[in-house]
Structure formats: C-alpha cells, structure tokens
C-alpha cells in the first residue's frame, strides 16, 4: 500500500543566521519507481541534527571540507533515516527489510542503490534508536569520549549540550566508566532531566550568572575531560578549570553554527577547523616524558655520530654577555641553540 | 683553582614587553661553600631559552601553571647548565665529574644537593651539546615530533622558528624519518643555513609578503604536521593548508612571549594553555571510524538492554513538522535525539 505522492521538504533558500520555517518548502510529487539494482524506501524516521545547518550555507569559509558539501537548493537536505524497503530490485535486500540510510531524509519515499544502507532487525522494537543512541549520534558520543577523551575512573568529565542527542549519551557513558559527570544545559528543566533521568552527578544551566564560579564549585578537582559540543561562553567558563593532561574532544560548536556567536571569530574558526579536518592540537612539556630520555639519547647520538644530524649552536662568550644574548633571542639574533660559555 | 668570586646575573626587574639589558644586574659575591651532602659546581655553559621570558613575569595570567613559577627578583633566573664538580661532599659525585644541571644557571658557581643532575662523560668533546641537540632542547624536538607529530615517510612537515634551537632539530629528525620538511625562519641568511647546512627541503622567510601564498607553493600536497614554535601570523599562514588528520604539536609561542603579538589575544591564550596544561584538543568526524561501529554497538546494546543507559528522544510527528523542529534545534526546544516520525 504505497501512497501515490512523495512529499519532500526542500531547502528553499539558504538560511541567514538562525534558520526559519520559510527557508524550507513542502513539495508533493510522484512516488519514484526503482530501476534494476535499486530499492524503493519508505522513510519511517528522520534524524535532525545541528550539523545540517552548516551544510545549508553555500560554503564553509575558511574551514571548507569536502565531507560536508553544501546541500543543493530546491532539494531535500539529506540526513539519516530509518526506512522500510517497499520494493526491491536489488538481490541483497528484500521487501519488508528495515534499514538505516545515511542520506535519504526530508522526504517520505526515496530510491536507493543500497550504498551506505545498514540493516536493522525487521522487528526492532524502537527503530528510532537506530538514529540516536544506537546510531551515528550514539557512535559519535562513544567514539569521541572513549578514543579521544580516554576516561579513567574517578576523573571529572564535563559535557556541554548535556541534554542534547550526543551530550546525553556522552554523560551516561562517562558515568558507566566511573567518571564524575557534570552536564551543562539550557534551563532548569533540562538540568533536572539530565540529573534525575540520566544520572549525571550535576548539571548547570549555562544561563545562570557566574557560570564559571558555579562550575568551579561543581568541579572542585578540576576538569579532566571536556566534551565540546557548544563553544562560545560555555567553553570560556570551562577552560580555566581544565587540569593538566586534559583531553578535549571537539565534536561540535553549535553556538556558532548560525554565524552568530559570542566567541571571538578566530577561536570559532580555529576549533571548527579541528572538527572538519580532524586535527589534533596538543601542547606538551618535555619534563613529563623523561622516561623516554634514554630512547632519545640513543637515537640522537646514533644520528649525530653518523654525521646525519647537525648541532646548530650560537655560543656567546662570558657570563657578562648573558643578558644581551637573552635579549637577542627575541630579536632573532641567534641560530640554533643559544649557549653562554662561562669557562672551558 | 677556584676563583674567589661568584659572579651572578640577577633579574633586576620584571621586563615589560621585550626584555632589555637593564632588566638584569651583575653582582659579584663570595664563592659558596658546600655543606655535607652538597656539591660545589662551576658552570661551563649556560642554556638560554625563550621560555625563560614567561617566568620573568610575576604571573602567567589565565594560563598560570605551577610548572613555571615566576623567577624571584634579585636572584639568578635559573636555567640549565653544564657544570664541573669542583668539590664534592656527596658520595654519588666526585670532583671533576661533568654534569648537566636543571637550574643552576646565570652564575659562575652553584651549590647542588645532586637533585636533577645528569652525569655526562667526563671527556665529552662538545659539552654544550648536552644543552642543545643532546639535551632538553633536542629532547623537546624529538618527543614532540615523534610522539605527537607521528611523522610518516612522505608526509609534509612544516617547522616554525626553523633556525632556532628546537626547530633546527625538529626539521632534521623529520627529514631523517622521510618527511618533506619546510622551515619558516626570519631572514634569508637563516633560510639559506636551514636548507644548505641542515638539509631542509625548503625554507621561507616569514617576513616576505604573501607568506601564505609562498607556503602553498612550497607545500603543494598540503601540510600533515605543523610543529608550532611561534604562533601569530606564521600559524595563520599555515592553518588553511593543514590536511585532514593533521597533527600540531604545540611547543612554544614565542611571538607572544613578550606580550606583544599580532595574534588575537584569545587564540594566544588558548594555545598557551595547551602547552602549560599539556592539553590535547582534537576534532573528529564519526564517519572516519566506522570500523569501530560493531564494538560500539555491542557495548551500547549491552548497557541499553541492562537498563544502564537511557535513550533520550524528542519525537515529532509528521514530515510537515520537520522544518519547524529543525529550527527548534537552535532554540533549545528538544532534549536528546530529535527525530521526525513519518510513519510507523
């Protein structure tokens, strides 16, 4: 029993700032007919995610990346769905199969050649979970927290957008792995839900005055992991509380997606580039790694003795010259290592 | 044959902006006498490093860290030296031993209880190298590049302050490990030295107009590793050329150490905090890690089935509501995963 119309929500124009309903248009058309090697899918559930906002722009400015080409105008913006196979002209799927699609969204029917489809149990009780906690949303939370955040029992984890799709999962995983979990969310109702229903240890409303001070009280041992979904003022409140060796998985920066952010433009662009280019930015102090000094010495001496490495030095004679030489460091006077010889 | 005077260069006042010679004062005093359990050291070589500038301030502002407490006024500012043991009242060292000290600098003699001393071969041909290529400087270059940069043969490595103590070593190691290495340094003489003496593939003078354009020509395959010593305009030129999965070991930000930087204050403070707190900031895209999806599913289904994890969802009914629901994402209307139900 296939309806005779395929309803689509199309991107009518590119949003300026926050999206509004008039940026979209509903269009009814004929239900498409699958060719050989194709499936006709009926969408049951559509996933809506903040990242879609970025793809509604016509470019991504300085952080453009092929992963996220702009959505076409006057077409459905894509996005994941749970769908039922209505007709199959493809051997690997049968009518009645339940699948997750990566990009068939914003319409009631879609044609697929099977690319990127993930099969679900046909009798799955709550198929919408395949878009959420058991889908790409949950996977984002799980991978970012475990692979980048590397939580250890007893550590303090702060999650922004804690009541959101990703944040609500991040915090629960953190709790299951033994972290003390503090959420940051918008409003007292969300905060109550995050604590009472999801079991976070605490949740702060980011709209309160002195968020930084409240957060300091809630995280007396500092913050070991900050799962970044938001950016902006929330990041600013978290930052001074980060402990040494903190990990910050940068998942999203929703505060800036509409191009309206309280964050300095440079920082938003910098962090956004980390996401779209999967960049790892890591500060370090040599003193933390001295257990590797013998390995270093062995390799460097080998190269030095073999003449494969040169020791570039600027040697200044006499302690009396130390101050002048130091001043020169910032004027580009030396090349290589600057050393003062006091005596042979 | 110990001289009767210990000459010290003391920090006379805290520099404002770039240091000047008058920030220091030379003071002669008696050679100190070791007590039981102490050594008298005579410094042969003093290491001078840009990081010392930060410790000459009376605080580090928002990126304060106990690792780098301010130097005391009217005292030698510390810093590493190569020294000879002149008198030993400590069993583990003998007169004549050659050692590296972590903090005995800016004076001709020093007393040590042995803490942090590293022994050198007494007949070491070029003891100053124990402060440079074979010392903490070289170790910084080696650890930051290999452990964070993780260079692969054929990758493009860009090194700022390429003629400096750390940069000159980073680039050579990169070359030995098979990278294409591009240095950035101040002036044509330094650039020539970096290429001709150290074997970098190329070196750009950061003072040229259109550094970004020159760098694009020099790195036609983009940049896989940027070893950050400088910050500021150099970082800005490098950034758009970073490839996906780029690594950026943040070693130093000398462009901002004097408190005068062309970089937006926020970014300098952000990157500085990465160094002093050894923070890892890493963006990611879930689509890169789908080989872990089965592990994710197994763990999450387990928690979900055991009732240890809750799937927070906001379900909106009807495709016609999709646009309004999407708009609401940015107004905080939903909690958990936002899903549109099109059909059961």
Say what percent of chain A tops pLDDT 70: 94
Output b/e per residue, B282-294; b: 16+ Cβ within 10 A: bbbbbeebeeebe
Q: Kindly indicate the confidence band of residue A262, based on its pLDDT and cuts at 50, 70 and 90.
A: very low
Strands A280-283, B242-250: pairing kind:
parallel
Give the model's confidence band at A272: pLDDT under 50 very low, under 70 low, under 90 confident, else very high. Answer: confident
Nearest in space to A99 (alpha carbons), one of A107, B25, A110, A256: A110
Instruction: Give the pLDDT of residue B255.
Output: 77
Residue B60 — very low, low, confident or very high, per pLDDT cuts 50/70/90? low
Residue, of A335 and A95, whose pLDDT is higher: A95
A21·B323 Cβ contact <8 A: yes
Given a cut of 90, whether residue A334 has pLDDT beyond it is no
E-assigned strand segments in chain A: 5-11, 24-30, 39-48, 81-88, 98-101, 109-112, 118-120, 156-160, 180-185, 202-205, 223-227, 242-250, 280-283, 313-317, 337-341
> Taking residues B288-308, what's their average pLDDT?
92
Evaluate whether B46 touches A324 at the Cβ level (below 8 Å): no
Mind telling me how many Å the CA of A37 is from chain B's nearest CA? Answer: 25
Q: What is the pLDDT of residue A63?
A: 43
Q: How confident is the model at residue B9 (pLDDT cuts 50, 70, 90)?
A: very high
Q: Is the pLDDT of residue A208 over 80?
A: yes
Q: Do A343 and B138 touch (CB under 8 A)?
A: no
Residues in chain B: 344
Chain B positions in Cβ-Cβ contact with residue A268 (cut-off 8 Å): none
Contact at 8 Å (CB) between B185 and B194? yes
Minimum distance, in Å, between the CA of residue A203 and any CA atom of chain B: 14
The per-residue pLDDT for B254 is 82
Which pLDDT belongs to residue B74? 96
Mean model confidence pLDDT for chain A: 91
Tell me which chain A residues have a C-beta less than 8 angstroms from the C-beta of B342.
Answer: 42-46, 108
Q: What is the mean pLDDT of chain B?
A: 91
The whole-angstrom separation of Cα B249 and Cα A158 is: 24
Return the residue of B nearest to A306 by Cα: B176
pLDDT at B263: 52
The Cα–Cα gap between B129 and A8 comes to 70
Contact A280 B148 (CB under 8 A): yes
Is pLDDT at B51 greater than 90 in this prediction? no
What is the DSSP secondary structure assignment for residue B164, as one 8-state letter? B
Per-residue burial over A223-247, b = 16 or more CB atoms within 10 Å of its CB, e = otherwise: bbbbbbbbbbbbbbbbbbbbbeebb
pLDDT tens digits along B104-126: 999 999 999 999 999 999 999 99
Q: What is the pLDDT of residue B63?
A: 43
Residue B259 has pLDDT above 70, yes or no: no
The answer, yes or no, to whether residue A260 has pLDDT greater than 80, is no
pLDDT above 70 covers what percent of chain B? Answer: 94
A31, A14 contact by CB (below 8 A): no
Please report, for residues A74, A190, A339, B59, the alpha-carbon distance to residue A187 in angstroms, rounded to integers and kept in the order given: 36, 6, 58, 37
**What does the pLDDT read at residue A8?**
96
Q: Give the domain ranges of chain B.
A: 5-130, 136-277, 288-341
pLDDT above 80 (res A73): yes
Distances A143 to A134, A177, A182, A227, B165 between C-alpha atoms, Å: 12, 14, 19, 11, 38
Residue with the larger pLDDT of the pair B287 and B30: B30
Q: State the pLDDT at residue B4.
A: 74
Residues of A in contact with B168 (CB under 8 A): 310, 312, 335-337
What pLDDT was estimated at residue B3?
Answer: 58
Q: What is the pLDDT of residue A17?
A: 87
The answer to whether the beta carbons of residues B222 and B196 sit under 8 Å apart is no
CA–CA separation, B265 and B261 (whole Å): 8
User: B75-94 in b/e burial notation, b at 16+ Cβ within 10 A?
Assistant: ebbbbbbbbbbbbbebeebe
pLDDT, tens digit (0-9, with 9 covering 90-100), for A111-159: 999 999 999 999 998 999 999 999 999 999 999 999 999 999 999 999 9
Task: Among A149-158, A206-215, B65-74, B99-108, name the one with the lowest average pLDDT.
Answer: B65-74
CATH fold of A136-276 reads Rossmann fold (3.40.50)
Would A5-130 and A136-276 be classified into the same CATH topology? no
Is the confidence at residue B342, as pLDDT, over 50? yes
Residues of chain A contacting residue B165, judged by C-beta atoms under 8 Å apart: 312, 336-338
Instruction: Give the architecture-level CATH label for domain B5-130.
Output: Alpha-Beta Complex (3.90)
pLDDT at position A144? 96
Residue A66 clears pLDDT 50, i.e. is over it: no
Q: What is the distance between the alpha carbons of residues B247 and B224, in angstroms, rounded to a whole number?
A: 7
- Lowest average pLDDT, out of A210-214, B54-58, B191-195, goes to B54-58
Name the β-bridge partners of B314.
Answer: B338
> Is A330's CB within 8 Å of B49's CB?
no
Of A105-109, A125-129, A299-303, B265-269, the one with minimum mean pLDDT is B265-269
Contact yes or no for A144/A251 (Cβ under 8 A): yes
Nearest residue of A to residue B53, measured between CA atoms = A326
Please give the Cα distance from A277 to A123 (Å, whole number): 38
B24 membership: H or E segment, kind and range: strand B24-30
Write out chain B residues lying below 8 Å of A20, CB-based.
327
Residue A296 reports pLDDT greater than 60: yes
**Is-contact A206 A233, C-beta < 8 A?**
yes
The confidence band for B62, taking pLDDT boundaries of 50, 70 and 90, is: very low
Q: Residue A68: which pLDDT band, with cuts at 50, 70 and 90?
A: low
Q: Do B335 and A193 touch (CB under 8 A)?
A: yes
Question: Measured between beta carbons, which residues in chain B are less than 8 angstroms from residue A240?
Answer: 62
Specify the pLDDT at position A212: 94
At B333, the pLDDT band (50, 70, 90 cuts) reads: confident
What is the per-residue pLDDT for B272? Answer: 87
Q: Give the pLDDT score at B68.
A: 64
**Best CATH choice for the domain B136-277 from the list 3.40.50.720, 3.10.290.10, 3.20.20.70, 3.90.105.20:** 3.40.50.720
Q: What is the largest CA-CA distance in chain A?
A: 95
Q: What are phi and psi for residue A94, nearest 5 degrees?
A: -115, 160
- List the single residue in B20, B143, B329 with the smallest CB-CB distance to A286: B143
| Nearest-by-CA chain B residue for A174 | B309
Q: Which residues contact A126 (CB under 8 A, 6 or more apart)?
A: B311
């Amino acid at each position: 029993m296939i309806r005779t119309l395929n309803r689509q929500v199309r991107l009518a124009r590119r949003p300026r700032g926050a999206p509004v309903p008039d940026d979209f248009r509903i269009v009814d058309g004929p239900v498409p007919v699958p060719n050989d090697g194709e499936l006709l899918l009926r969408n049951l559930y559509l996933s809506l995610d903040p990242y879609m906002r970025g793809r509604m722009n016509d470019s991504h400015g300085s952080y453009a990346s092929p992963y996220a080409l702009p959505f076409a105008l006057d077409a459905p913006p894509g996005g994941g769905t749970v769908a039922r196979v209505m007709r199959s002209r493809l051997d690997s799927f049968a009518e009645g199969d339940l699948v997750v699609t990566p990009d068939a969204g914003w319409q009631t029917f879609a044609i697929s050649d099977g690319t990127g489809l993930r099969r679900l149990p046909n009798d799955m009780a709550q198929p919408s979970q395949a878009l959420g906690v058991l889908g790409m949303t949950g996977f984002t939370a799980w991978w970012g927290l475990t692979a980048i955040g590397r939580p250890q029992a007893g550590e303090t984890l702060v999650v922004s957008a804690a009541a959101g799709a990703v944040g609500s999962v991040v915090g629960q995983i953190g709790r299951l792995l033994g972290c003390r979990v503090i959420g940051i969310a918008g409003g007292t109702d969300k905060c109550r839900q995050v604590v009472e229903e999801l079991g976070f240890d605490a949740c702060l409303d980011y709209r309160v005055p002195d968020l930084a001070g409240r957060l300091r009280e809630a995280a007396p041992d500092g913050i070991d992991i900050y799962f970044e979904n938001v950016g902006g003022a929330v990041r600013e409140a978290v930052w001074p509380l980060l402990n040494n060796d903190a990990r910050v998985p940068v998942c999203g920066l929703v505060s800036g997606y509409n191009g309206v952010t309280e964050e300095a433009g440079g920082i938003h662009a910098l962090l956004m580039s980390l996401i779209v280019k999967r960049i790892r930015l890591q500060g370090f102090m040599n003193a933390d790694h001295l257990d590797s000094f013998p390995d270093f010495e062995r390799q460097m001496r080998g190269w030095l003795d073999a003449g494969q490495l040169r020791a570039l030095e600027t040697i200044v004679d006499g302690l009396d010259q130390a101050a002048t030489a130091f001043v020169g460091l910032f004027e580009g006077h030396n090349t290589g290592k600057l050393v003062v010889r006091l005596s042979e």
